[in-house]
Every structure is written in C-alpha cells, then in structure tokens.
Amino acid sequence: MLLAALDAERVATLGLLLVVGLIIVAAVVAVLARAIVVKVLAVAAIFGIGAVVWSQRANLQDCTQQVKDGLIGSGPTAQCTFLGLKVDVKVP
C-alpha cells in the first residue's frame, strides 16, 4: 500500500496538498458549470471532501504529537490513521 511507506509528516503534507487541490477543482467547477444547481452541489461536495481530509490531517497531527510526547506507542514505531489507513510514526 502506498501510505505504508510514508511517514506521518509526509501524509499530513499530502493531506494539505489534497485540500488545496480540491479548492482549485471547486473554483474550476464553479466557473465551468452552467446550471446553478450543478455548481452548488459540486462545490458543496468538493468542500465536504476537503473538510473530511482537513479533519483527518488534524487528527494525524494530534496523534503524532501524542507519540512525540510519549503518550502512545512503546516500540520503535507507533501507528496513527489517516482516512482509515494506518501510518507509521517513529517513536523518539
């Protein structure tokens, strides 16, 4: 799996890039879509997906901070999740 090879910091960065990409797609859809209903629904769906990704990114950062603080994880790595996928976090 792709995310198994990535660390938490890279996954968080990918999440941020995904949100930025979704904002760009929403802007393009808003410009190109003709019917107002299609515009509203498409932009709402894209922003909804962006909100989920942003929330998961924040959860990943919180989990990473807990690992750094020693609250979770006891081996060389701990696992956090991002969109339901497990991401390895190195324990300091």
**pLDDT tens digits, 32-83:** 777 777 788 888 999 999 999 999 989 888 888 888 887 776 777 788 888 8
Q: What pLDDT is recorded for position 8?
A: 74
Per the DSSP assignment, residues forming a β-bridge with 78 are 89
The answer to whether 82 touches 56, Cβ cutoff 8 Å, is yes
pTM confidence score = 0.63
Encoded tokens for 83: 């969109």
Who wins on pLDDT, 48 or 9? 48
Who wins on pLDDT, 89 or 4? 89
Compute the average pLDDT of residues 7-29: 84
Counting other chains too, the contacts that 62-68 makes at CB distance below 8 Å and 24 or more residues apart are 63/8, 63/89, 64/8, 64/9, 64/12, 64/89, 67/91, 67/92, 68/92
